[in-house]
Amino acid sequence: MTDTEVRALVSLIADNDREVRGHVEEQLMLMGETAIPWLEQELDTASFDGELQDRIVNLIHKLQFDVLIQRLQNWHLLGGTDLLQGMWIVSTYQYPDLDIATLRQVIDRLYYETWLQLRDDMNPYDQIRILNQVLLDEFKLGPNSRNFQSPGNSMINVVIESKKGNPITLCVIYMLVAQKLGLPIYGVNLPNMFILTYKTLNTQFYINVFNRGIIFSRQDIENYIRTLKIQPIEVFFEPCTTVDIIRRVLRNLIGSFEHLGEHYKVEEVTRLKDLLDD
């Protein structure tokens, strides 16, 4: 369609005939994300019509959600290995205009600041000490204990900006920097907690980023599992996949929206999680 035709089509969203509006929405949905700028222009002119504004905002959200679904499907089909891209896709649910390049710049800066302090002859424990110093002490990443149920805790851009987050998002930022440094640090799925493991053929220990980056052993995990009165399984001790991490981030986000009573968001994020379950 020409610009004039698209503009005319968008203007029909204000039509009082539901059948007409339904046809218009179908056509705009077929256009996909290219329709969004036109809808945003229309939104600017509808400032005195609350009902029309709601109609346009809802349609923009539907289009953005379709884009998000396609991105997540493509990410998964391509192997789901780029952790930062996966976290960015999750964040675009609330922040559709978020630029992944902005996130990469932050991770690159943290990588560089850490790299400056690492030496080739450092043992694993000293490497973790430097990571803790740069990320937790200097950058001041830490737990959002006051507002643990906030959806923002699952959004990497929000956590980077506020420096506060939940265990998994803090671990993700820590792990992204560590892996860019070439360190063998991976995520571990524990019940009610997400941690990291430093694992090579000869060395393995665990890191609790949510608790000031303290280091602990397999025996400590076994003791923790015992207090929960559940059967220990190997997944509690070994690295999980990137898809596992994004799936758990989405589960946390579902829990946050349930806590807030935002049921339509629970349904939408559940759809996203189901894509990864498939």
Q: What is the pLDDT of residues 229-274, one digit of tens each?
A: 999 899 999 999 999 999 999 999 999 999 999 999 999 999 999 9
Token pair 């399984």: residue: 233
Share of the chain above pLDDT 90, in %: 76
Q: What is the pLDDT of residue 278?
A: 65
Nearest CA-CA partner of 268 in 122, 19, 64: 64
pLDDT at 162 over 80: yes
Tokens standing for residue 73: 């499907």
Both tokens of residue 179?
Answer: 């892996």
Task: Look up residue 264 and give its two tokens.
Answer: 């339509």
**Amino acid type, 89:** I
CA distance 258 to 260: 5
- pLDDT score of 45: 72
127-150 per-position pLDDT tens digit: 999 999 999 999 999 999 889 999
- The answer to whether 84 and 107 have CB atoms below 8 angstroms apart is yes
Partner residues linked to 199 by β-bridges: 204
Q: Which of 99, 255, 87, 248 is nearest to 174 (CA)?
A: 87
Measured over all CA atoms, what is the biggest interatomic distance in the chain, rounded to whole angstroms?
Answer: 73
Residue 50 CB-density burial (10 A; 0-12 exposed, 13-18 middle, 19+ buried): exposed
Q: Quote the pLDDT of residue 98.
A: 97
Q: How many residues does the chain have?
A: 278
Q: pLDDT tens for residues 53-108?
A: 888 888 889 999 999 999 999 999 999 999 999 999 999 999 999 999 999 999 99
Task: From residue 114, give the alpha-carbon distance in Å to each of 20, 27, 172.
Answer: 58, 51, 16
Percent of the chain with pLDDT over 70: 97
Cα–Cα dist 267/253, whole Å = 11
User: How is the chain split into domains, by residue range?
Assistant: 3-77, 83-277
Chain mean position to CA 72: 11
Task: Judge whether residue 51 has pLDDT over 80.
Answer: no
What average pLDDT does this structure show over 47-55?
72
Cα separation, 132 vs 28, whole angstroms? 49
Report whether 139 contacts 114 (CB < 8 A): no
Per-residue tokens: 254: 């579902």
Q: Closest by alpha carbon to 24, among 52, 45, 64, 66?
A: 52
